[in-house]
Amino acid sequence: MDNLLLNITTHGNDEVGYLSFFESNKDIPFDIKRIYYTYLVPIDTKRGMHAHKELQQILWCPYGKIEVVLNNGNEKSSYILDSPEKALLVLKGYWHDMYWRKEGSVLCVAASEHYDEADYIRDYDEFLKYVKEGYWDDEN
Ligand code: T46
């Protein structure tokens, strides 16, 4: 499976509003163990700047516009989250940077594991070493 922009199932209309949802192991390929969200981030701030050894995550932006750049050590792809109906599956082994492109944007994340700082690779040269050694080959 690859990193993927997903359309979140949505019900509603302009008169009563909208409701969007996704379910573990149906719409996304893991059990959700943790939810967190990032907000009140000044515009054009860059966050992230790390990769995860094992963690898989779904990112979505219920309000605003956030650009997510994923890098597998060889190539980068940019994804725009600018609708509550869009979500991005981020697999293990991708260096990710997030840029806040609109005032007040909120980033929500559903994660496959509890918080563990030991799962983070926060040094880019160390990340490239993991890629070179094939740490994530045949995974995902
Ligand atoms: C990610 C992107 C999308 C915790 O104590 N528990 C948590 O569950 C999380 C997510 C963070 N923290 C602590 C760790 C740091 O001391 O909160 C502080 C800020 O975390 P960080 O600088 O890693 O935040 P971001 O926005 O750069 O990255 C976050 C997630 O940490 C990361 O896993 O993939 O959002």
Q: Judge whether residue 88 has pLDDT over 70.
A: yes
Closest CA to 70 of 86, 90, 54, 53: 90
Q: Determine the Cα–Cα distance for residues 55 and 12; give it in Å rounded to an integer.
A: 33
* In the chain, alpha helices (H): 124-132
Check whether 8 has a pLDDT greater than 60: yes
Regarding the beta carbon of 18 and ligand 1, being less than 6 Å apart is answered: no
Query: How many A from CA of 11 to the centre of ligand 1?
Result: 31
Q: Whose CA is nearest to atom 22 of ligand 1?
A: 48
**Cβ(103)–Cβ(39) under 8 Å?**
no
Mean pLDDT, the chain, integer: 96
Active-site residue 50, yes or no? Answer: yes
Q: Is 38 in the pocket of ligand 1 (CB under 6 A)?
A: yes
Question: In the chain, what are the domain boundaries?
Answer: 2-132
Domain spanning 2-132 has what CATH number? 2.60.120.10
pLDDT at 139 over 70: no
Indicate the SS3 state at residue 53: coil
Q: Decide if pLDDT at 37 tops 60.
A: yes
Of the pLDDT bands very low, low, confident and very high (cuts 50, 70, 90), residue 3 is low
Look at ligand 1, atom 7, and give the residue with the nearest C-alpha.
Answer: 115
Predicted confidence (pLDDT) at residue 2 exceeds the cutoff of 90: no
Q: What is the mean pLDDT of residues 41-49?
A: 98
How far away, in angstroms, is 22 Cα from ligand 1 center? 22
Mean predicted confidence (pLDDT) in 42-62: 98
Q: What is the pLDDT of residue 26?
A: 95
| Residue 41 CB less than 6 A away from ligand 1 | no
Q: Supply the DSSP string of 58-76, one letter for each residue.
A: EEEEEES-EEEEEE-SS-E
Q: Is 132 exposed, middle or buried (0-12, 13-18, 19+ CB in 10 A)?
A: exposed
Cα distance between residue 82 and residue 32, in whole Å: 23
Backbone angles phi, psi at 132, to 5 degrees: -60, -35
47 Cβ inside 6 Å of ligand 1: yes
Q: How far apart are CA 15 and CA 36, in angstroms?
A: 30
Query: So what's the pLDDT on residue 140?
Result: 56
> What is the identity of the amino acid at 97?
D
